[in-house]
Structure 1
Amino acid sequence: SWRASSAPCCGARGSPLRSRRSGRSSGASGAGSSSRRVDERAGLPPGGRLLLLAVVGAMVITALLFQLARMQLVETEPLGPQRDGRVLRIEDVDAPRGLILDRDGNTLVRNVPELVLVLIPGDIPRVPAVETTVLRAIESELGIPYANLEALLALGREAPDAFAPLPIRRGIEEREAIRLRAALSDVPGVAVQMRTVRVYEGGDLYGRILGHVGALPAEEVEHYLEAGYALDARVGLSGVELEHEEALRGLLGRRLVSATPAGRVLEVLAEQPPTPGADLVLTIDPELQRAAIDALTRAVGQALPEPQPGDPPDRPEPLAVGAAVVLDVRSGDLLALASLPTVDAGIFSGGGIDADAFVALLEDARRPLVDRSFAEVNAPGSIFKPIVGVAALEEGIATPETRIVSTGAITVADEFNPDVSYVFRDWTVHGSLDFAAGLARSSDVYYYYLAGGYEEDGRTIFEGLGPSGVASYARAFGLGSPTGVDLPGEAAGIVPDPGWKREAIGEPWFLGDTYTFGIGQGYLAVTPLQMAVAAAALANGGDVLVPRVVGATRSTEGVRRLPPTVASRIPAGSDAIAVVADALRIAADPGGTAVDGEPEGMAIAGKTGTAEFGIAHADGTYDTHAWYLGWAPYEDPEVAVVVYLEHGIGSRNAAPVAREILEAYAVSERRVESSPRGAP
């Protein structure tokens, strides 16, 4: 596990001001005698002239630095014209944005320079005729509509910093930059500046994880300006770029410059350098991530259901989508976070994604911009049963020896009309089952009993947990609320109970709701990541971990690895967890329902799930989601794995995906690593 101390959010503004004029030599050593004679004629003691020059120079530099410090406390404005017509002013110096590295230290997101033509409103006199001349000159050279330039100037006039450069055109070629500098040399408030843009590597491995940067969102401009951002800043808009904005952004520097009245910088007099943003090291294992994506890609196509004659016309087309999560059960490090369809990170490089490409992503029915591993919820089916099992054991509802007979279904009378009854079916006839067999064989009837109990002829045959009992343990395992993963857009999911149903749907809770809740269906809705956190809690003895994709930071203060974060402990003892774990080991062994998820030569714990959803086919059957939950190795667990397919059967379609991922993990050198290589 990659355990470490906490990471800095960002470097502090620490570098003292330094003058670029203060390092000049005082002259050759041979000039000492002539200096002394001049000192004597002026009535100064020997060496006094040099001392006087040093004092005067220090006073000048101090005055400049005082002006720079003063300008850090007030709005940016010119310090006023000097005797030679020059203007002194303070300018912001952009901080290099932090890099994003993979766990081996390879750069995934980097900064590359680009030339940008900018408008500096503060350098344009507030004279209508001058403003018109400036904007017409730009319009003539670039063909940008005058109205657009007028709006940009008005925006800059209203900004707290009138001298903040506003981009007019990005990505200018060197030859074009030379032409524009010459053509607009006498036009105030227009300049060609060097900026940086982000370039994203890694293809489809990290697309949604890395995220992207862009201009300040219109609805949040005021918030960013109050936080010290420039109007033309590029900020994180999704993924790690957004979630770790504070660490990546760095801190602006300042410099005191001498400029012409038109705004052309002539000299830098003093400078406070910026503090670069921190570099981030991801936890994602590229080999496991690739194995997960490839295995999912093969599986989702094979799992698509065939249409049936007479199907309702409003049945949506099946989607070849899915997700997989691999989580280190000791640290919370996410080793794989895969979601189909994938997105190539490179489409956000440079100036950003092409408008047509972005529209295509938005219109894609598969919703490729949504990460199904943590931002979409679905019913988990039978992979929820281990949580119900722990609750039943811990609350004394069941023991390892508790036997329940499954004849393939139970019949329950209507709570308000005893002449009406309902049938709740098992997926097969199991016969008499003890606790381990009930979970290993995934008997629905067994879990109807554990969740809702059973009555016959008015007599209580079995006392169940009840909806509140099931809901309490579901929440204790982290369901129904975000896991806290360091990525934006996480879904909370739903853990239902009578109060929730009354408020959300306006209906009372029925016994049948408890039965379906107990087998992971009905109103229960989870993300694959939430179920991976729950599996990790079973594997590590009860710790509900906060998952993460960033495992270390690297800044001017050094490299710091993040320690694991434990959100809570499940309210269950080791005995209850051990009984459930043993049943999941049996399920993954030959003859068990989860056997197709076990890689050769490695004993694991596993559980499949199949959950109905959608609109019924003509024959009354429903499409199903396919799930797999497990951890490996069974002894001394290292990783939890959860697989979700939009369509399919857990044992037939999701289990083989888990096996391929665990096979890749089993042969990986990373099993012996304790931290990302990028964070020594």
Structure 2
Amino acid sequence: MAKNKVGKNRIPFRLNLLFFAVFILFSALILRLGFIQIVQGDEFESELEQTSSETARIDAPRGLMYDRNGELIVDNELVLSLTYTNEQDVPDDERIRIATELSKLIEVDSEEMENIPERDKKDYWLVTHPEEAAELLTQEDRNTIEDDDELYDLQLKRITDEQLDELNEEREIIAIWREMTSGYYDSPQRIKKGLSREEAHSISERLDNLSGVDILRDANRKYLYEDAFPRFFGRTGAIPRENLEEYLAKGYDRSDEVGTSFLEEYYEEALRGNKGEILSANKSNNSGKESNGSRGNDLVLSVDMALQQEVETIIDEEVDSSTGSFINDKEAYVVLMEPQTGEILSVSGYSDHLGSISSSFEMGSTVKPATVMLGLQTGVINQHSVVVDRTLNIPYTPPISSVSNLGPVNYLTALERSSNVFMAHIAMELAGYNYGVSQTWNTTEYNEAYDTFRYYYDQFGLGAETGVDLPFESTGINGGNASPGNLLYLSFGQFDTYTPMQLAQYVSTIANDGYRMKPHFVKQIREASADKTKLGAVRQQFEPTIMNKVDINNEYINMAQEGMWRVTNGSRGTARSYFNDTEYVAAGKTGTAEIRIRQDGSNRVVEGNNQAFIGYAPYDDPEVAIAVIVPYVYKDSAGGTSGIANAIARRSLDAYFDLRKDRPDIEPDDTDE
């Protein structure tokens, strides 16, 4: 009986121990659940709400642009945009229904409808013709091809032109649908920017039936001086397809608008605004908290818009008064620049400003100061060298002469009176050709002479990239080393071609004692200011950038400068009659390049001139440099007007100094921050 008593006592003890352990575990679990529900409940509920809500980013306005005197020149204006937020679980037929409804409420740009990519049309056809789409694949296709993407591509290939032609009446719907589906899920995609009042009103009345559709505030660029500076501001628009991946990698959305040309494109990172956010509580509630973004940074340009307008008027008046002088369309370009900083004060054109960086011309005698300097630097001439200016007759080369036989000339009179023959002698000496003695040219030596000319020209910016702060620029046309005779034409500006911007950098380099400065349109990047009439704090100041010092002795630069002074002030200077009564002292060089050009609308080749002028002032302390080119003018004997470029240069420099004298200096550097 003793054994039985002991055995009965052991079983209850183990059960009690087990029950006690279970009790402890359940108690801990209950306590933990209570702690989570009571103490941490609000925190987890907030996290859950954040997880189930949607955040949509909305565009912020771009930065503004001001001229060098703080004048607002590029603004933003409020517009309304139609957007669609695409959700992953929305069926295709619902998107088609919404696109169809929207096509009845808004006007779609005709160009956009005409340029719908074929791939988008095919995608739309597959969505709207599911049964026919299924018939494009055979059972064998489905058995042998496992990858869905490959099957889809096969369907696309089998859609016929006739099937696509059936969609012509649905182009508006397709254009809207492709915009609806081109963005990311749960992010607003811009369908149309700049809704009319009628469109916005009609859509607002139907929003309950258009899930995902919304109308948001947006901004359009407003170019206040578009007529006076039309091309260089640039434009904004959709991200170009070829740059899409690059922008996406930088955090842009597919629907974003970006700068697509010129200053808008070059300074995209600075001008881009910081996006705002719309936070909705859940998918069924499209209204939520809105976080405003911030405007992008503002640009202060180096351009003086008052001067720009003056120069535009001068060009128009001078060109229009020379009716009948132009072989083809009227053209004229002017660039004014600060020699010591590279700041561009004005870039103007008669009908197209873009030609100042994209079009190149033979600039004639304006290159002669560089030719004189390289001749002095290489030792083929010196300050005492004298050449008898008379017609040169060289085998296999057209006769070379100046405007008339000038007689004995040195480097000063060669610049003052514009001697082609003096420059040609520099070229011949460099090539080892002794005029009147040598019978043939040494191929090695004349090729080396070409290289020498272009080496020095390049240092002044002729034939080289200027470095201007724009997405692209032309560097002109290098004519190659075709023949010895063309080397002589190169020496006085009638072979290689240069842009007006290059010509302006070249004369600025001369005025700046051989220091080539990088030309630029933007002086400063500033923080956005709430008051558009005041400039924000400076974020970045663009200091003058020296690109190089020309490899020429300062004494020779001074000698060329003296020769340019004689052009505008000497008794026989080719521009004396235009500058002899100025209140300032200028230095310059005229240029006339003989050209042959095909006349528009005919096969007739016409002989004419490119008229050019370079200069700077004041002579002793240059603060402005100018380059003018008036291309493709009939010769005087054929009805062309002479001196158009000279007249434009004189009046433009007058305008610069008149503005400096008649108004206070209110440049942004002096603005309170």
Q: Normalising by structure 1, what TM-score?
A: 0.74
Shift of 1:152: 4.2
CA separation in 2, counterparts of 1:107 and 1:214?
A: 22
| Counterpart in the other structure of 1:338 | 348
Residue 512 (structure 1) aligned with residue 535 (structure 2): no
Shift of 1:540: 0.9
3-state SS of paired residue (1:424): coil
CA separation in 1, counterparts of 2:107 and 2:411?
A: 76
Shift of 1:165: 2.3
| Counterpart in the other structure of 1:478 | 461
Worse-superposed segment, 593-602 or 626-635: 593-602
Worse-superposed segment, 233-242 or 375-384: 233-242
Aligned AA for 1:538? I
CA separation in 2, counterparts of 1:253 and 1:183?
A: 26
Residue 636 (structure 1) aligned with residue 616 (structure 2): no
Contact 2:69 2:667 in 1 (8 A): no
| Counterpart in the other structure of 2:54 | 89
CA separation in 1, counterparts of 2:362 and 2:516?
A: 21
Aligned AA for 2:73? L
3-state SS of paired residue (2:255): coil
CA separation in 1, counterparts of 2:79 and 2:625?
A: 43
Shift of 1:182: 2.4
| Counterpart in the other structure of 2:545 | 565
Shift of 1:302: 4.1
Quickly say closer, same or farther: Cα 1:527–1:128, change in 2 above 3 A.
closer
Deviation sequence 1:356-391 (CA, Å, 0-9, x none): xxxxxxxxxxxx4x6122111000100011111111
Residue 592 (structure 1) aligned with residue 573 (structure 2): yes
User: Counterparts of 1:231-380 in structure 2 under 5 Å?
Assistant: 231-261=254-284, 264-268=285-289, 271=291, 274-303=293-322, 317-341=327-351, 368=352, 371-380=354-363
Contact 1:471 1:496 in 2 (8 A): no
Shift of 1:218: 3.4
User: Counterparts of 1:517-532 in structure 2 under 5 Å?
Assistant: 517-522=490-495, 524-532=496-504
Shift of 1:169: 3.5
Contact 2:510 2:561 in 1 (8 A): yes
Shift of 1:136: 3.5
Aligned AA for 1:586? R
Contact 1:64 1:256 in 2 (8 A): no
Q: 1:603 aligns with which of 585, 590, 606?
A: 585
User: Counterparts of 1:184-223 in structure 2 under 5 Å?
Assistant: 184-223=207-246
Deviation sequence 1:335-358 (CA, Å, 0-9, x none): 1100111xxxxxxxxxxxxxxxxx
Measured on the aligned residues, the alpha-carbon RMSD in Å equals 3.3
Residues paired across the two proteins, number: 549
Contact 1:452 1:518 in 2 (8 A): no
Shift of 1:95: 2.5
3-state SS of paired residue (1:207): coil
CA separation in 2, counterparts of 1:627 and 1:455?
A: 30
3-state SS of paired residue (1:563): coil
User: Counterparts of 1:367-516 in structure 2 under 5 Å?
Assistant: 368=352, 371-407=354-390, 409-414=391-396, 422-453=398-429, 454-458=434-438, 466-498=449-481, 509-516=482-489
Q: Normalising by structure 2, what TM-score?
A: 0.75
Q: Which runs of 5+ in 2 are unaligned?
A: 1-36, 109-168, 529-535, 636-640
User: Counterparts of 1:37-56 in structure 2 under 5 Å?
Assistant: none
Quickly say closer, same or farther: Cα 1:128–1:238, change in 2 above 3 A.
closer
User: Counterparts of 1:155-170 in structure 2 under 5 Å?
Assistant: 156-157=180-181, 159=183, 161-170=184-193
Contact 2:263 2:470 in 1 (8 A): yes
Quickly say closer, same or farther: Cα 1:304–1:191, change in 2 above 3 A.
same
Quickly say closer, same or farther: Cα 1:105–1:674, change in 2 above 3 A.
closer
Worse-superposed segment, 318-327 or 607-616: 607-616
User: Counterparts of 1:57-136 in structure 2 under 5 Å?
Assistant: 63=47, 79-80=51-52, 88-122=53-87, 125-136=89-100
Aligned AA for 1:430? L
Deviation sequence 1:494-539 (CA, Å, 0-9, x none): 34443xxxxxxxxxx32201100001012x1101111111111111
Shift of 1:203: 3.9
Q: Which runs of 5+ in 1 are unaligned?
A: 1-51, 68-78, 81-87, 308-316, 342-367, 415-420, 499-508
Quickly say closer, same or farther: Cα 1:678–1:241, change in 2 above 3 A.
farther
CA separation in 1, counterparts of 2:373 and 2:669?
A: 37
Contact 1:587 1:593 in 2 (8 A): yes
| Counterpart in the other structure of 1:645 | 630
Worse-superposed segment, 664-673 or 485-494: 664-673
Q: Work out which of the two has the higher radius of gyration on C-alpha atoms and give 1 or 2.
A: 2
Task: Kindly indicate which of the two structures has a greater share of residues assigned to helix.
Answer: 2
Contact 1:323 1:340 in 2 (8 A): yes
CA separation in 1, counterparts of 2:487 and 2:199?
A: 70
CA separation in 2, counterparts of 1:594 and 1:99?
A: 42
CA separation in 2, counterparts of 1:510 and 1:133?
A: 70
CA separation in 2, counterparts of 1:620 and 1:152?
A: 51
Quickly say closer, same or farther: Cα 1:636–1:460, change in 2 above 3 A.
farther
Contact 1:281 1:679 in 2 (8 A): no
Contact 1:111 1:199 in 2 (8 A): yes
Worse-superposed segment, 276-285 or 140-149: 140-149
| Counterpart in the other structure of 2:611 | 626
Contact 2:423 2:488 in 1 (8 A): yes
| Counterpart in the other structure of 1:575 | 555
Shift of 1:99: 0.5
Aligned AA for 2:487? T
Worse-superposed segment, 326-335 or 639-648: 639-648
Shift of 1:597: 4.2
3-state SS of paired residue (2:643): helix
Could you tell me the percent identity over the aligned residues? 26
CA separation in 2, counterparts of 1:288 and 1:479?
A: 26
Shift of 1:210: 1.3
CA separation in 2, counterparts of 1:434 and 1:646?
A: 29
CA separation in 1, counterparts of 2:510 and 2:549?
A: 11
Quickly say closer, same or farther: Cα 1:256–1:143, change in 2 above 3 A.
closer
Quickly say closer, same or farther: Cα 1:64–1:114, change in 2 above 3 A.
farther
Shift of 1:285: 1.3
Shift of 1:280: 0.5
Shift of 1:493: 1.0
Worse-superposed segment, 322-331 or 445-454: 445-454
By relative contact order (CA 8 Å, sep 6+), the higher-ranking structure is 1
CA separation in 1, counterparts of 2:458 and 2:583?
A: 35
Shift of 1:625: 0.9
